Amino acid sequence: MAEGKKINLGINDGQEFFAHEVSLNFNPTQFIFDFKCVTPRVDPRSKDTPYLSIKHNIVMVDAHHAKKIHELLGKVINDYEKKLGKIEMPKALKKAQKDSKKSKDDKTTKEAAPNYLG
């Protein structure tokens, strides 16, 4: 940029978003990160029917950027674990997973599917 030129820059920050789940897909030109926030809601008018609120934030990047995200995430996780200790599954989640496996006939499931309906 030439010296003396000025530019106005507007930044539109998105809203904060907690993701309970993420789905990853790809096509020939991009990777699609679909972040989901799933929240059970109570509607006093229909007590018998559960209601889930699902919000999505979708991020699409080209293959090169997806690879860079992978590298960066690996580096950040390594740095985190060096500084704060190994990241492990929370005890409550381990127990829920164990209980879920006991109650299912299919023993091939590695992870318990989230149950948002209680």
**Residue 48: domain span:** 21-90
Residue 36 and residue 56 in contact, taking contact as beta carbons nearer than 8 Å: yes
Element (H, E) at 70: helix 63-84
Residue 43 is assigned to a structural domain of this protein: yes
Judged against a pLDDT cut of 90, whether residue 44 lies above it is answered with no
- Cβ-Cβ contacts under 8 Å for 41 (sequence gap 6 or more): 51, 52, 53
Q: How is residue 31 annotated by DSSP?
A: E
Question: Which residue in 52, 53, 72 sits closest to 61, CA to CA?
Answer: 72
pLDDT at 81: 97
pLDDT tens-digit profile of 61-94?
999 999 999 999 999 999 999 999 999 999 998 8
Mean pLDDT of the chain: 85
Q: Tell whether 31 is covered by a domain.
A: yes
Q: Per the domain annotation, does 73 fall within a domain?
A: yes
Name the region of 85 (left: φ>0; alpha: ψ -120 to 50; beta: rest). Answer: left
The answer to the question of residue 97 being in a domain is no
The sign of the CA dihedral 59, 62, 64, 67 is positive
Per-residue confidence (pLDDT) for residue 26, from 0 to 100: 96
Number of domains observed in the structure of the chain: 1
Asked whether the predicted pLDDT for residue 103 surpasses 80, the reply is no
